[in-house]
Chains A and B, each alone.
Chain A
Amino acid sequence: DVKVTQSSRYLVKRTGEKVFLECVQDMDHENMFWYRQDPGLGLRLIYFSYDVKMKEKGDIPEGYSVSREKKERFSLILESASTNQTSMYLCASSSPGLAGLKTQYFGPGTRLLVL
């Protein structure tokens, strides 16, 4: 069974804090993704990575950065959290090759509240 785990299910942070969201997958997947999910908007891609130390911006990268130092771990960083970053954050991974043809496996999500 593919397992994608995220470091926290719930997080409460203050405006201006630096926030780290961690994602780990155990299937040796090359591709990893970070999304945010907001009511009525669906999932929106923040960043993705197709290899260690490689990263690509998604649709809404502003205010976020990522780190992929090891294949199994993909971190999302909010440099200075703001209230409009309150959201559900979902990590996903998929096996190598054309990512569009590979099933994405999602983690359980981290619900972040920024006060």
Chain B
Amino acid sequence: KNQVEQSPQSLIILEGKNCTLQCNYTVSPFSNLRWYKQDTGRGPVSLTIMTFSENTKSNGRYTATLDADTKQSSLHITASQLSDSASYICVVISVIYNFNKFYFGSGTKLNVKP
């Protein structure tokens, strides 16, 4: 069964600290993996897109890693800021005969406290 599991479900950290969010998936075949940030009451916004051959991708203080062998990805946030408080969603895309299927994780809710 194709699934995307994210952990932890929620996380509280102090401003300035680093944190790492995990995403494990069983989706096959794999096309690419994305991390989205969703502020409360808003739609998700893309942070990174990683294909099979990419191990690491950065977007400012956000660094995503991908291990396609173990089917694991992580999102590392450096020097967290209050504005990082949001839900972070991992999405795995599968493409079969030009048909695209999106598998969404249920997200990690991050709360950055001053």
Using CB atoms and an 8 Å cutoff, list the residues of chain A in contact with chain B.
4, 9, 40-45, 90-92, 98-101, 103-109
Contact = CB atoms under 8 A, between A and B. Distances in A.
B89 A42 contact: yes
B106 A101 contact: no
A100 B107 contact: no
A42 B106 contact: yes
14 contacts: A42-B106, A43-B44, A43-B102, A90-B44, A91-B43, A98-B98, A100-B32, A100-B93, A100-B101, A101-B49, A103-B46, A107-B43, A109-B41, A109-B43
Nearest to A91: B43
Given A9-B41, A98-B98, 7 more contacts: A42-B106, A43-B89, A90-B43, A100-B93, A101-B32, A103-B34, A105-B46
A43 B4 CA distance: 11
B79 interface: no
- Interface of chain A, main secondary structure: mixed
Judged by DSSP, the binding face of B is strand
B66 to A, nearest CB: 15
Interface of B: 4, 31-32, 34, 41-46, 49, 89, 93-95, 98, 100-102, 104-107
B65 to A, nearest CB: 19
B43 A42 contact: no
Contacts of A44: 104
A4 B105 contact: no
Nearest to A103: B46
**Nearest 9 CB-CB pairings of A with B:** A106-B43, A100-B100, A42-B104, A42-B106, A100-B93, A43-B104, A100-B95, A99-B100, A100-B31
Given A100-B32, A100-B94, A101-B32, A108 B43 contact: yes
Contact of A42 (B32, B45, B105): B105
Contact of A106 (B45, B98, B106): B45
Nearest to A50: B100
